[in-house]
Structure 1
Amino acid sequence: MTLVPGPSNGSKVAVAPARACAYAVLRRVFEQGAFAERALRAEARSLPGRDRRLATRLAYGAVQRRRTLDHFAEVLSERPTARLEAPVLAALRLGLYELVYLAGAPDRAVVADAVELAKASSRAGHGLVNAVLRRAAREGTDSLLRGLADDTPEQAALKHSHPTWVARMWWEQLGADAARALMDYDNEPSELALRANTLVMDANALAERLTGDASGSAGEAPAASGMRGTQRGVKVHLDAKIPEAVIVEGPFDVHGSPLWRTGACIAQSRASMLAARSVAPRPGERVLDLCAAPGGKTTHLSALMDARGEVVAVERDRRRAGELASTLRRMHAGNVRIELADAAAPLAGEAPFDRVLVDPPCSGLGTLQARPDKRWRVTEEDVEEMARAQAAILAAGADVLRPGGVVVYSTCTISAIENERVVAAFLDSHDDFTLDDLAAELPSYAHWPLAREGGSGAPVAARCSSTGSTVLTLPHRDRTAGFFIARLRKA
């Protein structure tokens, strides 16, 4: 148990460590504006694996379902959440999330810990926390869920805890059924996928180190090359479509593993791996990676090239460039050169590149499982602004490409404004480029959206729609992050 300050006399009361950690994360995110992932890393540093996993589920789940939980709190308390103290609201969110969406713990333990956490942080709000959570437990949480319909985008946004503008956008772009399924899946834990660094070992060898054999059975991996096995209970799956990918199930601490520290693997979604594979770099070529930090795709490009040739990695932020350099060293990417520069500005003094990867900052709406607070940070206005910046970076990348070369445009979002519309506008203004047919290489993810713009029915870039195709991964369908990828070839 974790001791937290009691209501008086400096006394301490015991609270389950996972709940205390999750509560601290919620307060950091919603009161201090902290990123959920960083807040969790700081708060869970000293927790054992089991408590860390539960704290992650509680914190991420309560952040993701904030909108729905606040609705439940208002129904049960009969008052607006805007009138509640922030520590009280955090305790309500945490307790309601566990009561409604997680099974296993006794209701009385959930209620008691939430009340103690509120006591330690507020003057009188713990009474309200007790009353609301006891009412939820007494009346049954199924009735709360049954009261939520999802027949319209507005209803679905409340039921599945998304901003209304996102629900409306996906309703139009994907259709009602897919939009509902996507929003529902966004609230589930994200995949844990590792990319085997083929400069060190392939996916089969990584799987053996993780589990003792490549079939996915549990066990402790044998020691080899100075690296010991990770933890018992880990199961793995290989991906026939992505040779470097290893999907992990079970208690695996990526950053605490010697496999990670020695550069044998990196945590990276399978969808993200498709971006570098779509670039398809060859050993000896010159490749440009724009907006390169934190380095997952950069190091993937290097590995696909067997660290032969050159990758120029452009990053404008000095701190992120430092993090990128650290990743390059750990992943043995010795053929990468970092350039501290603006990706949208002309790259002076460089010979033309054979291939270019444009992976610009985006709204990140394809990563709402792994980044639980992302949905509450991005606005509709941000999307339009990002699309303008993305178009400028794509044009800059195309300017330094040799004839016959390819530029791959990739985002981790599900937004036609940032994806299809950016590529279509680029093709309409660059007659010397055509859209490659990625469906021939990645048929499971084929996507032909460029004949129409954002569901409006207005034809755009019609000349490319008959032969070219893009890739769009959807989390609920593909069980990985949502990514858009287009490959453009210069005449």
Structure 2
Amino acid sequence: MISRHVDRDLDVEVRAALHIGLYELLFSDGTPNRAAVASAVELAKPNLGFKLVNAVLRRVIDDDGGKLRLPADDTPDGAAIRHSHPLWLVKRWWKWLGPNPTRALLAAGNRPTELVLRVNTLRTGPLGEDGAPAGGIVVPGEPFDDALPEARRVTGGLDVLADPGWREGHYVAMSRGSMRAARAVDPQPGERVLDLCAAPGGKTTHMAALMGGEGTIVAIEKHGGRARALRRTCERVGAGNVEVISGDALEVELAAGSFDRVLLDAPCSGLGTLASHPDLRWRVQERDLPELGRLQGRLLEVAQRAVKPGGRLVYSVCTLNPGEERLPEGKITRLWPHRDGTDGFYISAVGG
């Protein structure tokens, strides 16, 4: 839309002001047109391009008779503009899923995500028959998924990081998709479990809780800062059976067949999380995908060597891209934002 009215490069702050102004004009029903224009103009100042911002936005309004219209989403090009997703991604989903599922998926990417908490039974004690922690500790939200009795959906506002319950480790905020990945591992008390690429630790500490704190989880994290944060998370939630190793999973020495269960929650494009990370759609580039796929394959080889014969191996990615799917012979779970109301996930479990 900008290119219809501007035929030259724009300063970053001017283009950003135009983007915000156009968004308000197109999507914000509660903002009068002149207020949207005035706000965008102020944002562009002191850059002299504020005059261009004013002219372009007023011309957009005048050209459409004051009634702004987005293109129909009956083609990938129109859908990309209407739903604010990169064209390369829309084309991929359109080819893979078809028009109707793609439109539904794009719409879901622009809706607010649910806030889900996982009751941390390492701190609260086991859940009773009524689903409440037996120790009487109250965790915000309500049970809503029989397959995830530890999950609580919160309606209304909750400042998680300021809540004493979070600081005391009574719960962890994580998506249902992430919980399903940890559940797929099905770790048992006393077992030896490997979690490759472990930070930020939601799945790691979930598995620790499922094991009742008994046994060992070796959690490998490549980035030093994230590894330190993972240790703090384990301490907060009482996951004393987690051993955090700061290192590259491709280089850490792991004895072959030494783990009962292995979770590879692989680095991925994250295309299943666009509602909770809206900026990601513009940061991920199509050219990044082949290298990600090669990394996932190498990490999977490490995971396959580490799991003992007959053990369980789970591969998961929070993306919606068939090129990043692995272990097609496993028990596969796919979660879709537009169908399941949570992050998009691919989970495959083999053995065990």
How far apart, CA to CA, are the structure 1 residues paired with 2:288 and 2:75?
24
How far apart, CA to CA, are the structure 2 residues paired with 1:143 and 1:114?
17
Does structure 2 retain, via aligned residues, the 8 Å contact 1:99–1:141?
no
Find 1:289's aligned residue among 171, 184, 195: 195
How far apart, CA to CA, are the structure 2 residues paired with 1:313 and 1:350?
16
1:5-32 residue CA offsets vs partner (Å, 9 max, x unmatched):
xxxxxxxxxxxxxxxxxxxxxxxxxxxx
CA 1:255–1:371 in 2, change beyond 3 Å: closer, same or farther? same
Instruction: Tell whether 2:348 aligns with 1:486.
Output: yes
How far apart, CA to CA, are the structure 1 residues paired with 2:317 and 2:16?
33
CA 1:102–1:194 in 2, change beyond 3 Å: closer, same or farther? farther
Q: Give 1:98-137 correspondences, 5 Å limit.
A: 98-119=24-45, 121-122=46-47, 124-136=48-60
Q: CA deviation at 1:204?
A: 8.9
Does structure 1 retain, via aligned residues, the 8 Å contact 2:119–2:151?
yes
Structure 1 residue ranges without an equivalent (≥5): 1-70, 210-223, 425-433, 437-469
Does structure 1 retain, via aligned residues, the 8 Å contact 2:37–2:54?
yes
How far apart, CA to CA, are the structure 1 residues paired with 2:145 and 2:111?
21
Q: Give 1:7-22 correspondences, 5 Å limit.
A: none
Q: Give 1:435-450 correspondences, 5 Å limit.
A: 435-436=330-331
1:259-290 residue CA offsets vs partner (Å, 9 max, x unmatched):
21111122211111100000011111111000
Q: What's 2:209 paired with?
A: 303
Q: What's 2:153 paired with?
A: 247
SS of equivalent residue, structure 1 residue 239: coil
Q: CA deviation at 1:150?
A: 2.4
- Greater mean deviation of Cα atoms: 131-140 or 348-357: 131-140
Q: Give 1:97-246 correspondences, 5 Å limit.
A: 97-119=23-45, 121-122=46-47, 124-136=48-60, 139=64, 143-145=68-70, 148-201=71-124, 236=142, 238-246=144-152
Q: What's 1:382 paired with?
A: 288
Q: CA deviation at 1:140?
A: 6.4
Does structure 2 retain, via aligned residues, the 8 Å contact 1:346–1:396?
no
Find 1:336's aligned residue among 230, 242, 251: 242
How far apart, CA to CA, are the structure 2 residues paired with 1:135 and 1:241?
54
SS of equivalent residue, structure 2 residue 248: coil
How far apart, CA to CA, are the structure 2 residues paired with 1:320 and 1:94?
33
CA 1:204–1:175 in 2, change beyond 3 Å: closer, same or farther? farther
How far apart, CA to CA, are the structure 2 residues paired with 1:397 and 1:309?
19
Find 1:477's aligned residue among 339, 344, 347: 339
Q: What's 1:276 paired with?
A: 182
Q: What's 2:225 paired with?
A: 319
Does structure 2 retain, via aligned residues, the 8 Å contact 1:435–1:488?
yes
CA 1:140–1:474 in 2, change beyond 3 Å: closer, same or farther? farther
Give the root-mean-square deviation of aligned CA atoms.
Answer: 2.6
Q: TM-score, normalised by structure 2?
A: 0.90
How far apart, CA to CA, are the structure 2 residues paired with 1:203 and 1:112?
54
Find 2:320's aligned residue among 409, 414, 426: 414
Structure 2 residue ranges without an equivalent (≥5): none
Q: What's 1:28 paired with?
A: none
Does structure 2 retain, via aligned residues, the 8 Å contact 1:352–1:400?
yes
CA 1:349–1:165 in 2, change beyond 3 Å: closer, same or farther? same
1:171-206 residue CA offsets vs partner (Å, 9 max, x unmatched):
12212211121112212222222112122237899x
Q: What's 2:3 paired with?
A: 74
How far apart, CA to CA, are the structure 1 residues paired with 2:110 and 2:3?
21
SS of equivalent residue, structure 2 residue 322: coil
Does structure 2 retain, via aligned residues, the 8 Å contact 1:203–1:245?
no
1:113 partner amino acid? S
SS of equivalent residue, structure 1 residue 243: coil
Q: CA deviation at 1:144?
A: 2.1
How far apart, CA to CA, are the structure 2 residues paired with 1:158 and 1:107?
20
Q: TM-score, normalised by structure 1?
A: 0.65
CA 1:208–1:129 in 2, change beyond 3 Å: closer, same or farther? farther
SS of equivalent residue, structure 1 residue 361: coil
Does structure 2 retain, via aligned residues, the 8 Å contact 1:100–1:141?
no
* Percent identity for Structure 1 against Structure 2: 47
1:339-383 residue CA offsets vs partner (Å, 9 max, x unmatched):
123223463358711110001110111011111121112222211
